[in-house]
Amino acid sequence: MLYLVHMRVDLPHDLAPGRVEELKRAERELAQDLQRDGRWVHLWRVAGRYENYSVFDVADHDELHGLLTSLPLFPYLDVTVTALARHPSALPTPPE
């Protein structure tokens, strides 16, 4: 199943800079692992903001929930999830 996920990061101003860097490093590593295994299909930054739009391809809502809650930055995320379905006017996806 495909999901469009909007994530907005809101780090507390009193979070220690070392902790912030540790969270960002761990987040980057996990995000790249999920991209490599094909579950985090697209990742786009929102220009000028600390947020992104992503597309996930996972089995179901529960798997997506598990992935999102495993993100190191999850406690500081405002997340909006939209389930996606193929549009009848969309061109077929070319085979890989």
Inside any domain, residue 94: no
**What's the pTM value of the predicted model, to 2 decimals?**
0.90
Contacts of 82 (CB under 8 A, 6+ apart): 3, 4, 5, 6
In a domain, 96, yes or no: no
pLDDT band at 93 (very low <50, low <70, confident <90, very high): confident
Q: Which residue has the higher pLDDT, 94 or 56?
A: 56
Residue 46: which CATH number?
3.30.70.1060
Average pLDDT over residues 5-34: 98
Residue 67 lies in a domain: yes
Q: Which domain holds residue 54?
A: 2-84
Tens digit of pLDDT for each residue in 68-85? 999 999 999 999 999 999
Domain count, the chain: 1
Query: CA dist 50 to 11, 37, 40, 46, 94, Å?
Result: 10, 25, 18, 7, 33
